[in-house]
Amino acid sequence: MLRLILASESPRRKDLLHKAGIRFQVFPVKVSEIPDKTLNAGEQILDIAGRKARAAFEELSKRGENSSFVVLAADTEVIFKGAPLGKPSSPEDAIRTLLRLSGRVHEVITAVQMIDSSTGKTHSHLETTQVRFRPLSETEIRDYVATGEPMDKAGSYGIQGLGGKLVETIEGDFDNVVGLPVKAVLHLFEKNGWSFRE
């Protein structure tokens, strides 16, 4: 039976796949997530997702896995004025980021990389969603950061949690902002004839 291997520890990605009725195993890998500055923002995100996918694929191949599998890796970044914002380094950093985003539009880009163990082929997808924050007061931002929610999230907010209250409008795939464009992932499964339904 073909197995889907999620090369991520993200609880959000696991939750999205569960909700879509997909069966998978988790195989997290540690890779450098420092972006290659010679690439543009979209290419940087694809490159990082590719590092995760390759690292998991190589590790599983070394173990002599005898059943076929597909590795799924992803990287999500918040892009503002062409530059990735990343995860905050401190509460003050999160406050600065959210003040910059207040009342403005930013992009959330997720790169998906899959590797098919039976062919060694890589399949990629890049999904972009436009998000507009409503104008926020500094007190509101400080109160939100004090909850701790922003601290492990690109762009310093979680749309599926309390951070959803900061958002005025979104154009595009909501799941993409959470961390995985599920519709696009299911389309790639279908296109390749892969079935991972529970």
Give me the active site residues, please: 75
- Specify the DSSP element, H or E, that contains 45: helix 41-62
From CA 145, how far away is CA 92, in angstroms rounded? 9
DSSP 191: H
Q: What is the rounded CA–CA span in Å between residue 16 and residue 4?
A: 14
Residue 143 CB coordination number (10 Å): 11
d(CA 121, CA 104): 39
* Phi, psi for residue 185 in degrees, rounded to 5: -65, -45
Instruction: Give the closest residue to 50 by CA, choosing from 23, 74, 24.
Output: 74
